[in-house]
Amino acid sequence: MALHRHGSEVLPERRDISGSVVRSYERLRTRRGRKLGRFTKRMLSLALLFLIYLLGFGIKLPFHGSHHGSGLKVPVRTKNKQRKQHFPCEAGFAKSVDNLVEPKDFMNFTQFSIRYIDREEIISEHGTFEPRFGGHQTLQERENSFYARNQTLHCGFVKGPVGYPSTGFDLNEKDREYMNTCHIVVSSCIFGSSDFLRRPTSKKISDYSKKNVCFVMFMDELTMEKLSSEGKVLDGEGYVGLWRIVVVKNLPYTDMRKTGKVPKFLPHRLFPSARYSIWLDSKLRLQADPMLTLEYFLWREGSEYAISNHYDRHCVWEEVLQNKRLNKYNHTAIDEQFQFYQSDGLIKFNATDESIPLPSYVPEGSFIVRAHSPMSNLFSCLWFNEVDRFTSRDQLSFAYTFLKLRRMNPKKPFFLNMFKDCERRALVKLFHHRVDGGPPTTFV
């Protein structure tokens, strides 16, 4: 295991030697990071010498071994390209929550009603049917689901026929009842002990929000046990600080990162009464008031969905390369997804095109602010379905999903606010993911 730099964030990963040659390194921030950093630098120097040696003898390095796909090839990257530093910038929040008024009719949001497939009864030809959390959406159903109109679509939580086992993400009744009462939600998750529990900065959270906002942290039983063993003990009501801990049993995917996409994309399913939600990745500590956050990103902008753009990359082509460089996912699976998208109209990001609908085609999706409006909910379902069908790398499917939704509904606007990443940095404190990890995330 080594630490690899991802923009200005350090992500732990496991990877092979040939992969580590192509990464660049920088001084790592944490003490543990620094030690490892020195170690990896030494490794890098050795690897570089080896590379020069190989090049000198005209031998080709096999990159990523058998992971070769038929799409983009990962170019050889040698030594450090200077990495950009990323700083927060001012987000002009209102001074206090006292005079906030939720706009009643500013919302010219597209209206329609969506319902969700609750159960699938398909019995396959061979008489075997394996229920899946995401269901078995056909390509035709997928195509139709992009129309912003009254419809019933797949959006996770699909049960099998009566008598079949649960498809996962099981919650206890008490948590469910609590979640049903939430109107405004801040949520996050830790699956597979991949992170520490980071409490929102209490003094930045207004009394109003403490009283009226549900802060819910989803985690699996193992993570719960690990945190308990480290002294993070629930109070009598099931809270650690502001977080109400909700334990999820029977995880729907073996890939923990995929499981993490359930609370990330489907807060409108988990909190059926909620009108607004804020998602934050477990590597972030919230240091902004949720109500002020809604006002700033949604109400003031007249938007129904807010997500930040990526600090470095704007084109899905670059994102695909980066995912392969960092060995984020099975390369063949990435290529299959990428090729599917290209054949269905995904084009490169063109910064000089003034009619470009988004400031970037690559999001930094660790912080998402949503109104639970029809378009926003539809987009969330569609994006989730892409992650369910293809890879869990949601940066790869964001622009495709957004552009297809727009293309198929030219008269029905979706008010998406893609804000600057530096604003995200102003609202949250960034940490490194936990390094000692629990069980490794499965490489699917």
Ligand X SMILES: *[C@@H]1O[C@H](CO)[C@@H](O)[C@H](O)[C@H]1NC(C)=O
What minimum distance in Å lies between the beta carbon of 234 and ligand X?
37
What minimum distance in Å lies between the beta carbon of 352 and ligand X?
5
Which tokens is 243 given?
């977080």
Segment near ligand X (CB under 6 A); pick from 86-94, 108-116, 280-288, 306-314: 108-116
Non-local CB neighbours of 217 within 8 Å, separated by 6+ positions: 187, 188, 189, 190, 197, 240, 243, 244, 245, 246, 282
What minimum distance in Å lies between the beta carbon of 111 and ligand X?
8
What minimum distance in Å lies between the beta carbon of 333 and ligand X?
4
Residues belonging to the chain: 444
Q: Which is nearer to ligand X, 313 or 432 (CB)?
A: 313
The position carrying tokens 């927060």 is 88
8 A C-beta contact, residue 344 and residue 400: yes
Segment near ligand X (CB under 6 A); pick from 55-63, 273-281, 332-340, 363-371: 332-340
What minimum distance in Å lies between the beta carbon of 284 and ligand X?
29
What minimum distance in Å lies between the beta carbon of 372 and ligand X?
16
Q: Which residues inside 335-354 make contact with ligand X, applying CB under 6 A?
A: 336, 350, 352-353
Q: Which residues inside 33-52 make contact with ligand X, applying CB under 6 A?
A: none
Non-local CB neighbours of 99 within 8 Å, separated by 6+ positions: none
Q: Which is nearer to ligand X, 178 or 414 (CB)?
A: 414
Q: Which residue type sits at 295? A: E
Segment near ligand X (CB under 6 A); pick from 105-113, 206-214, 269-277, 405-413: 105-113
Q: Which is nearer to ligand X, 165 or 440 (CB)?
A: 440
Q: Which of 48, 54, 76, 444 binds ligand X (CB under 6 A)?
A: 444
The yes or no reply on residue 332 touching ligand X (CB under 6 A) is: yes
Burial class (CB in 10 A: 0-12, 13-18, 19+), 139: exposed
How does DSSP classify residue 246?
E
Which tokens is 161 given?
């026929």
Q: Which is nearer to ligand X, 308 or 397 (CB)?
A: 397
Q: Which of 106, 180, 272, 407 binds ligand X (CB under 6 A)?
A: 106
Q: Which of 45, 78, 80, 113 binds ligand X (CB under 6 A)?
A: 113
8 A C-beta contact, residue 141 and residue 105: no
What minimum distance in Å lies between the beta carbon of 113 and ligand X?
4
Q: In angstroms, rounded to a whole number, what is the distance separating the alpha carbons of residues 237 and 235?
A: 5
Segment near ligand X (CB under 6 A); pick from 3-11, 13-21, 74-82, 107-115: 107-115
Q: In angstroms, rounded to a whole number, what is the distance separating the alpha carbons of residues 291 and 288?
A: 9
Beta bridge partners of 213: 184
3-state secondary structure of 52: helix
What minimum distance in Å lies between the beta carbon of 410 and ligand X?
17
Beta bridge partners of 170: 249
Nearest alpha-carbon partner for 372 in 291, 283, 271, 296? 271
Q: Which of 43, 94, 222, 333 binds ligand X (CB under 6 A)?
A: 333
8 A C-beta contact, residue 431 and residue 129: no
Site string for ligand X, 134-173 (x = CB under 6 A): ----------------x-----------------------
Q: Under rule CB under 6 A, how many of the chain's residues touch ligand X?
A: 14
The yes or no reply on residue 108 touching ligand X (CB under 6 A) is: yes
8 A C-beta contact, residue 114 and residue 380: no
The yes or no reply on residue 273 touching ligand X (CB under 6 A) is: no
What minimum distance in Å lies between the beta carbon of 266 and ligand X?
21
The position carrying tokens 């038929």 is 70
Q: Distance of CA 60 to CAs 18, 57, 76, 332, 385, Å?
A: 12, 9, 11, 21, 39
What minimum distance in Å lies between the beta carbon of 444 and ligand X?
6
Beta bridge partners of 119: 159
State the DSSP string of 35-90. HHHHHHHHHHHHHHHHHHHHHHTTPPP-TTGGG--SSPPPPP--S-PPPPP-----
What minimum distance in Å lies between the beta carbon of 393 and ligand X?
13
Q: Which of 24, 30, 287, 330 binds ligand X (CB under 6 A)?
A: 330
The yes or no reply on residue 436 touching ligand X (CB under 6 A) is: no
Q: Which residue type sits at 13? A: E
Beta bridge partners of 421: none
Q: Which is nearer to ligand X, 148 or 286 (CB)?
A: 148
Which tokens is 99 given?
């005079």
Q: Which residues inside 59-78 make contact with ligand X, applying CB under 6 A?
A: none
Q: Which residues inside 298-327 make contact with ligand X, applying CB under 6 A?
A: 302
Q: In angstroms, rounded to a whole number, what is the distance separating the alpha carbons of residues 12 and 36?
A: 11
Residues at the interface with ligand X (CB under 6 A): 106, 108, 112-113, 150, 302, 330, 332-333, 336, 350, 352-353, 444
